[in-house]
Amino acid sequence: MKPYYDEDGCTIYHGDCREVLPELSFDVILSDPPYGINHPTNYAERGMSNLAPCKNYAPVYGDDGGFEPEAFIGSPCILWGANHYSDKLPPSSGWLVWDKQRPDDLDQSRCELAWSNFVKGVRLFPFLWNGMMRASYELLEHPTQKPIALMKWCLQGRWTPSGTVLDPFMGSGTTLRAAKDLGRRAIGIEIEEKYCEIAAKRLSQKVLNFG
């Protein structure tokens, strides 16, 4: 199994995670999988560029069908968007809340939720992410891209296992970039090659300044 990218402790595999995952060794999963909600990604076309510059994206691969978490929850993991498939998850007291600090009157969600099988209690991360008003500047390359600061917060949690981080739905590589910035080994799997290329470029940057 030849990696698409392998440098500085970060490895990317281009392929279907269901096929690649059994061949890997890792310590914790941190991922933002497709939720199975057909999330509309034509942001500019829907008029969202009236408030801040944005563009249309291709639909998220796999978002047109229900997400099945069974293959991942046997390992220590944090899975974002879990409120959309909570009926397929065992009960857990460990939920993470990302407060985007958006106005309550928007039709977009103010918060996002993640399920975990190792975090104790509900934890809150306030971090502004509302169009052009964001707590950090990051070039957005993916329609559901998360901020690096959010993934760093997940990895620095009190109960987060040490060791190798796996993101089986890597997208543009935010989880891997966060892990690299923290000096942790990380593995990403992505089925769309264009995002493998984007993630590899992000990882190749030695110093990032998103202030």
pLDDT for residue 150: 98
Q: Which residues contact 133 (CB under 8 A, 6 or more apart)?
A: 52
Q: How far is CA 191 from CA 113, 159, 181, in A?
A: 24, 30, 24
Average pLDDT over residues 193-209: 87
Q: What angle separates helix 148-155 from helix 174-181, to the nearest 10 degrees?
A: 60
SS3 78: strand
What is the distance between the alpha carbons of residues 81 and 163, in angstroms, rounded to a whole number?
Answer: 24
What is the distance between the alpha carbons of residues 92 and 191, in angstroms, rounded to a whole number?
Answer: 29
Kindly report, residue by residue over 60-97, the tens digit of the pLDDT: 888 888 899 999 999 999 999 999 999 999 999 999 99
Vertex 31: Cα angle to 131 and 23 (nearest 5) = 150
pLDDT for residue 44: 73
Kindly report, residue by residue over 11-61, the tens digit of the pLDDT: 999 999 999 999 999 999 999 999 988 877 777 766 655 556 678 878 788
Kindly report, residue by residue over 110-139, the tens digit of the pLDDT: 999 999 999 999 999 999 998 888 999 899
Global pTM value = 0.92
pLDDT for residue 47: 63
pLDDT for residue 209: 45
Domains of the chain are 5-79+134-204 (3.40.50.150)
